[in-house]
């Protein structure tokens, strides 16, 4: 009599599931933000903006690429150290990321959105620093995100000042 082999979770399957989990976390953050921007293209276009403000259609493609990089970055660190302090920072910045859009567009709270994005910028910087010690390519994946949030912070501040 032979015993049926119990299903064994392969390390590759576990890694793929974890990557899907990081993708899901980023998708949820994006979806929360997406709830805040539904139909806001006209609102964005109607705001007083600096001359260097990008067109509204640019944000979707840029954020899509950045969200993929954010997910992969977190996943690569998880492969190295598991869900430890570096990923708590990663999670915290993702929460602030999700909150910004509803504050800015949904509530029209440009000043509060600016406070959020400043904290987000600081948390991204802390995440990059901690990731750098764990896995440099993961930290490097967050640099374009940090740069975009730097730009978005300046844009948020400008719009706030021009529309108060």
Tell me the pLDDT tens digit for each residue of 105-141: 888 999 999 999 999 999 999 999 999 999 999 999 9
- Distance separating alpha carbons of residues 124 and 147, to the nearest angstrom: 10
Tell me the pLDDT tens digit for each residue of 56-89: 889 989 999 999 999 999 999 999 999 999 999 9
Task: Decide which of 31 and 36 is more confident.
Answer: 31
DSSP-derived secondary structure for the chain: --PPPPP---HHHHHHHHHHHHHHHHHHHHHHHHHHHTT-HHHHHHS---TTPPPGGGHHHHHHHHHHHHHHHHHHHHHHH-SSHHHHHHHHHHHHHHHHHIIIIIS--HHHHHHHHHHHHHHHHHHHHHHHHH-HHHHHHHHHHHHHHHHHHHHHHHHHHHT-
- Distance separating alpha carbons of residues 124 and 122, to the nearest angstrom: 5
Write down the pLDDT at residue 121: 98
Task: Decide which of 158 and 32 is more confident.
Answer: 158
Write down the pLDDT at residue 119: 98
Mean pLDDT of the chain: 91
Write down the pLDDT at residue 161: 97
154, pLDDT greater than 90: yes
- Distance separating alpha carbons of residues 123 and 95, to the nearest angstrom: 10
CA dihedral for 81, 86, 92, 97, sign (positive or negative)? negative
* Those residues with Cβ within 8 angstroms of residue 10's Cβ, 6 or more apart along the chain or in another chain: none
What Rg value do the Cα atoms of the chain yield, rounded? Answer: 19
Write down the pLDDT at residue 103: 92
1, pLDDT greater than 60: no
Write down the pLDDT at residue 43: 77
Write down the pLDDT at residue 5: 56
- Distance separating alpha carbons of residues 30 and 128, to the nearest angstrom: 20
Write down the pLDDT at residue 9: 65
Tell me the pLDDT tens digit for each residue of 17-34: 999 999 999 999 999 877
The tokens describing 32, both together, are: 């929360």
């Amino acid at each position: 009599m032979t015993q049926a082999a119990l299903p064994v979770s392969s390390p590759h399957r576990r890694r793929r599931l974890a990557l899907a989990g990081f993708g899901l976390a980023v998708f949820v953050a994006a979806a929360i933000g997406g709830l805040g921007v539904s139909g806001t293209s006209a609102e964005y276009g109607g705001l007083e903006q600096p001359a260097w403000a990008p067109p509204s259609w640019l944000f979707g493609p840029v954020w899509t690429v950045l969200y993929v990089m954010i997910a992969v970055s977190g996943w690569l660190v998880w492969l190295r150290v598991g869900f430890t302090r570096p990923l708590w920072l990663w999670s915290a910045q993702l929460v602030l990321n999700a909150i910004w859009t509803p504050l800015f567009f949904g509530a029209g709270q440009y000043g509060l959105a600016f406070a959020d994005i400043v904290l987000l910028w600081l948390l991204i910087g802390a995440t990059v620093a901690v990731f750098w010690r764990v896995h440099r390519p993961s930290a490097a994946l967050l640099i374009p995100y940090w740069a975009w949030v730097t730009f978005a912070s300046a844009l948020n501040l400008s719009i706030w000042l021009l529309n108060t």
